[in-house]
A and B are shown apart, each in its own frame.
Chain A
Amino acid sequence: MLLATEQLTRRYAGLIAVDAVDLAVPDTGIHAVIGPNGAGKTTLFNLISGLTPPSSGRIVFAGSDVTGDPADRRARAGMARTFQNIRVFNSMSVLDNALTGLHPRLTASLPAIVTRLPGFRREESAAIARARAALGLAGLLTRAHEAAGALPYGDQRRLEIARAMAGEPRLLLLDEPAAGMNPAERASLAALIRAIAAGGTTVLLVEHDMPFVMGLCDSVTVLNFGRRIFSGPPAAARQNKAVIEAYLGPKVAARLGGAA
């Protein structure tokens, strides 16, 4: 397993956002956490990426316990993420954004930065090449020198993915990547995600849109009110009574019978 959470729990005053969730993400493929709004998906993501400390439970990434590690250390260990509300660095150029994603791979020391020795310059051009490759993957190479904040919405989402991929992470966490996109944009996004997974990076995404997930993912985990109610292949999720109830409410689910 690349990533595993064990009994992961996060309580807020008067509510349990994530309740004893066990999640296992294999070393390859595309995996999803789905669930209705307010199911605790984003909280789970923040727990995994280290932005929110858990109330109890454990997180194991690439064989080591990262539960107590801050977010930046997890990023340097090979975890990259995007955000539901886009957080590109608006006033930086598109290329600079991608280069920021490369931060975990930078090794130059302060004296090397100040003196700009040849070895440093080689590393520098390698970094640019890598950032441009990530932009190329996301189809943003032609806009490399525009300000990130000026990009259209869909491109900003893709830029976030490119930025996360620039650091060549082992695990890519996508928080509602398809939110606000039209069908055409969704299709091209799905292609991008498949290309990323084919390149060897494991993808874990959070979505509340079932159809988008169904065709794309190798496995899904369904959350409802902070609890894991299902885990398995997408096709089985469609048949699962608890999942249908969670999405449609018990009454509609009963009326549909098993027809869904």
Chain B
Amino acid sequence: MSMAALDDLLWTYQNVITALGINGLLALSMYVVLAVGQLSLGQAAFMGLGAYSAALMSLKLAWPFWAVLPLSCVAPVAFALAVGGPTLRLSGVYLAIATIGLGEVMRGVYLNIDLFGGALGLSGIPEAAPQWVIFAVLGLALFVLWRIGRSGVGRAMEAMRLDETAALSMGVNVRRYRRNALLASAVLAGLAGALSAHATSFIGPNDFGFEPAVSILSFALLGGIGSPFAPVLGAWLLTLLPEVLRPLADLRLVLNGVVIVLAVLFLPRGLLSWRMPRRAM
């Protein structure tokens, strides 16, 4: 094998490994919303906001990556608050509709405003996010969500997913939980965006539209939401499958769509239906 081919192979694997980390984070960002019985399709838009704002901080302001990474959450959180409304009372079908809309709008904004580089996107972003950072963030997110999931907060989340009226009557502040879930989702997706921008050094307006938004849903539905590990597993399967089965590569969006349909109709608890043991609080 020539050196060039070896380089090529490594480079390909590097990309796949990066994608595993990023898609894992995105799956978690979907998980936190589904876990309270809501559906947001704004994850791709939040990711785009994180990616673009982080890229601009690096490119235009030359801020260091360790400062850029936490700040990349600001724009997604602000937009989550704006979409959710002054009191964040949007829920159910309406939240789903508004968040799909957000993705469509942001694409138009990136395309039409010079600051965002138009159709060409932004390139030359410093490759400041090594893979271990991506996986460290993913690991930390998994750990925190696992602890929360096992606690009384996790139980309240499950309760409102199962029966919102009963949960309300148990004193669960359903509205606040919903809001916090959406904000957590925005933070996770924003981080994923910033990390991805600083790992691949290029972002474009089409990376964060309708298709990625739906694909993120397919990660979570394939894995299930019994524990935070399940959606990450789903993301990894759907990232790896097209790499292993080459003919699927061109049809990966078809695959993601079909996975959603089949999961909802035939596998409502996902592949990993094992539920975490719960502690008391």
Contacts and interface: CB of A to CB of B under 8 A. Distances in A.
A116 interface: yes
B149 to A, nearest CB: 10
Interface string A142-174: 000000000000000000000100010000000
Contacts of B168: 50-51, 70-72, 75
Given A72-B172, A114-B148, A127-B280, 11 more contacts: A70-B175, A75-B169, A80-B169, A87-B165, A87-B166, A89-B162, A91-B162, A99-B155, A110-B148, A127-B281, A131-B280
A83 to B, nearest CB: 7
- Chain B CB within 10 Å — which of A87, A100, A128, A167 has the most? A100
B174 interface: yes
A49 B167 CA distance: 13
Nearest to A120: B281
B279 A114 contact: no
Given A71-B168, A76-B171, A113-B147, A103 B280 contact: no
B215 to A, nearest CB: 28
Interface string A127-143: 11001000000000000
Interface in B216-274: none
Nearest to A51: B165
A185 interface: no
Interface of A: 49-51, 70-73, 75-76, 80-81, 83, 87-92, 96, 99-104, 106, 108, 110, 113-114, 116, 120, 123-125, 127-128, 131, 163, 167
B170 interface: yes
Contacts of A127: 152, 280-281
The 6 closest A-B pairs by CB, nearest first: A75-B171, A104-B171, A124-B281, A87-B166, A128-B280, A124-B280
B137 to A, nearest CB: 15
B3 interface: no
Given A75-B170, A89-B162, A100 B280 contact: no
Interface of B: 143-144, 147-148, 151-153, 155-156, 158-159, 162-163, 165-175, 278-281
A167 B147 CA distance: 23
A167 B281 CA distance: 13
Contacts of A125: 280
A89 B163 contact: yes
21 contacts: A71-B168, A71-B169, A72-B172, A81-B169, A88-B166, A89-B163, A92-B158, A92-B162, A99-B280, A100-B155, A100-B156, A103-B159, A103-B172, A106-B152, A113-B153, A114-B148, A123-B281, A127-B280, A128-B280, A163-B170, A167-B170
B91 to A, nearest CB: 14
Contacts of B171: 72-73, 75-76, 103-104, 167
A212 B158 CA distance: 35
Given A123-B281, A127-B281, A101 B151 contact: no
Contacts of A128: 280
Contacts of A90: 162
B143 to A, nearest CB: 8
Nearest to B269: A91
Contacts of A89: 158-159, 162-163, 166
Contacts of A103: 152, 155-156, 159, 170-172
Contacts of B279: 124
Nearest to B180: A110
Contacts of A110: 148, 153
Contacts of B152: 99, 102-103, 106, 108, 113, 127
B245 to A, nearest CB: 34
B167 to A, nearest CB: 8
A200 to B, nearest CB: 19
A144 B279 CA distance: 14
A28 B172 CA distance: 26
Contacts of A75: 168-171
Most A CB contacts (10 A, CB to CB) among B153, B155, B173 go to: B155
Nearest to A115: B147
A92 B168 CA distance: 17
Contacts of A50: 168
Nearest to B150: A113
A114 B169 contact: no
A113 B148 contact: yes
A116 B150 CA distance: 11
